[in-house]
Structure 1
Amino acid sequence: MSNAIETRLAELGVTLPDAAAPAANYVPFVQVGNLLHISGQVSMDASGLVKGKLGDNMDVEAGAAAAKLCAIGLLAQVKAACGGDFTKLKRAVKLTGFVNSTLDFGDQPKVVNGASDFLVEVLGDAGRHARSAVSAASLPFGVAVEIEGIFEIE
């Protein structure tokens, strides 16, 4: 699957960043059996953190773009955990998305779709996953979205 994933990312014009180092006392991923648990990846691009609060100063489209950035970070962590070898990745299992949003904002699922849609676009059916999308009153550093994931690997 490695070449297929790398090829698909290139077709989409996506270059994976280096896997982000932990910002506190935790590890970026833990493997238990054939499940790889990836710590929460915050919305971040080459310019830095993508901050905002959905329902206040950020709309759903911008939030979905921030969620896609989190999914890119998740794939970077998967690649690092697999020693750079995407052939070990079998499928996405579960995402939990946290959306920095106002009390009356109710479109968290539409925001997290940015990550879900991206994983399916890159991985095909292996990108389909179980998911939760929840509101958060605030997130670390004021980021718009944070997403953690579970992936099956060989």
Structure 2
Amino acid sequence: MSVYDKLAELGITLPPVAIPAAAYVPFVQTGKLVFLSGHVAKKDGKPWVGQLGKNTTTAEGQAAARAIAIDLLGTLHAAVGDLNRVTRIVKLMSLVNSTGDFTEQHLVTNGCSELIGQVFGAKGAHARSAFGVAQIPMGCCVEIEMIAEVE
């Protein structure tokens, strides 16, 4: 099954690449690796604001991370032209806006990791880091970046 068939089965439509909010580009390819800049969580087209452990639950954080996965896939599609060219999702790095005593950053990030695994199957198995941070731009609850390998 192609990646696009899987996305259709999941009811996912890829969004266009977001316009960078600062002095950076959305992606860079060097050799076979594509580096995607961090994508912040959005809900209804606006920053998904919140702090895990204060006013946002782990389940809400997982939903935010899943939404980011969809945005990352849209950017990756724009970068490579065809998601079926992806040979491996190499790594995700997740920043979770959280209180000092919140310890479920890894569970929040699963919202992204699980969708990437569903879409790419074995090619979606990736290395990952999940960090708790004091703040994310615009007060967003989660930010995730991705590295992918293409043929």
Q: Please say whether Structure 1 and Structure 2 have the same fold, judged by a TM-score greater than 0.5.
A: yes
> Which residue number corresponds to residue 67 of structure 2?
69
Query: Structure 1 9/45 Cα, relative in aligned 2: closer, same or farther at 3 Å?
Result: farther
Give SS of 1:97's match. Answer: strand
For these two proteins, the number of residue pairs brought into alignment is 151
> Which residue number corresponds to residue 55 of structure 1?
53
> Which residue number corresponds to residue 81 of structure 1?
79
Q: Output the TM-score relative to the length of structure 2.
A: 0.96
What amino acid maps onto 1:11 in structure 2?
A: E
Distance 2:70 2:84 in 1: 17
* Unpaired segments ≥5 residues, structure 2: none
* Unpaired segments ≥5 residues, structure 1: none
What amino acid maps onto 2:83 in structure 1?
A: F
Give SS of 2:11's match. Answer: coil
Work out whether 1:40 is the aligned partner of 2:38. yes
Distance 1:61 1:21 in 2: 28
What amino acid maps onto 2:143 in structure 1?
A: E
Quote the offset at 1:60 in angstroms: 0.4
TM-superposition CA deviations, 1:58-115 (whole Å, max 9, x none): 10000000011111111111100013x2222111000000000001000000000000
Give SS of 1:112's match. Answer: helix
Q: Output the TM-score relative to the length of structure 1.
A: 0.94
CA RMSD of aligned residues (A): 1.1
Quote the offset at 1:9 in angstroms: 0.8
TM-superposition CA deviations, 1:113-134 (whole Å, max 9, x none): 0000010011111111000000
> Which residue number corresponds to residue 117 of structure 1?
114
Matches within 5 A, 1:1-154: 4-83=2-81, 85-154=82-151
The answer to which of 42-51 and 22-31 deviates more is 42-51
